[in-house]
Structure 1
Amino acid sequence: MNQQAYYHVTTCLHDSRTSQRMIDYNARQRRFHGTLPYPEVYYMNMDEEVLVAKEVLSLSKGLDVELVALNVCRDHMHLLVYCDYDEVPKIMHRIKGRTARVCNAHRASKGINPLDSTRGRYEPRPLKDGSIPFWTQKYYCKVIRSTDQLLNTFAYIRNNRLKHQLSFNYELEALMKNLPLKIL
């Protein structure tokens, strides 16, 4: 029984958050044989935030999803979508894969070692396949159960950059304002 509903979906950049499970199992202390106990995050710049937003908007047109709200902050992204619950994993798989490829290509076009723009604080650790992780493996998905919750979630997503005291991104704001607000 698959029923369409609104979902607030959030995902973060790789290594930008520490979960309780990571704390319980000392995941940070154990990785790379204890040589890398602290987070290594390469935050998105404003251009990359816009690239991510453009890709999400493009993908939402081709998927069976109604994108109601979107916001991309330097280390995470919020989506408010209307779709079947079973579609959320497929949607997130496509969005995270495509946006990671676009952003990694953007970074690669910046020179031989584009991630060194953080002045040597970040040395990316490639995975076994040679790729560099962009998003976390997991994402958070919450069903919206009432009109009040829907309106509050919409406002929360739209004002998320302000909440995190991030600089105003005019190009990103223009993309977000062009979303067709359809409250079904």
Structure 2
Amino acid sequence: MQQKHFLNILAGIGLVLAILACNAPTPTPVELSPSPGGVESQDTPLPSATQPPIDTPTLETLSETPTPTVTETLTETPTETPTELPTSTKPVSSGPLDFTPPTTLDHWEPTGAGEMTATFTVEIIGGAPPYDLYHDVEYVKTTWKTNPQITFRARGCSGIVHTITVKSADGQIVKHDYWISPPWCEN
């Protein structure tokens, strides 16, 4: 509080000094004219009789005392150093992974040479996408859908028997065998 009061006093004194410096009388400039022969005149200008002398106030000399310096002391905030490196996290699972094995084909069409292209839909429940799909041991695709389609080739009129494997992003794996009677032979 004392420091603030002291600074206010110093600011007031500085303001008074600035006002006095701006309003102080200044000497009248002397115009020199060249004299014949290149010698300049040494005449002293005469004071003007119309202006009364102005008293200039005398300023008291302030004793210079050192201005106190404010220094802030910052306290160090300890930073915690990690003891373990962060590891990637697995996606949040929506429950145990499972799917319903297909019982019928969604679509089929002949491709020639006695083969058919067949498609069915797998309904995935739980786990966390993306899902990797395998038909038997062959990779089919990765999908974010919970109802992806699998297309494969079939031949003949014997039952379609295969294994479907679904791997979830959260690490769960489920396998189911399925059997479908070929609809193109049902005549």
Instruction: Identify the TM-score tier after normalising by the shorter chain.
Output: under 0.3
Larger Rg: 2
Which structure's residues are more often helix, by fraction?
1
Q: Give TM-score scaled by structure 2 length.
A: 0.20
Q: Give TM-score scaled by structure 1 length.
A: 0.20
Q: Which has the higher contact order (CA 8 A, sep 6+)?
A: 1
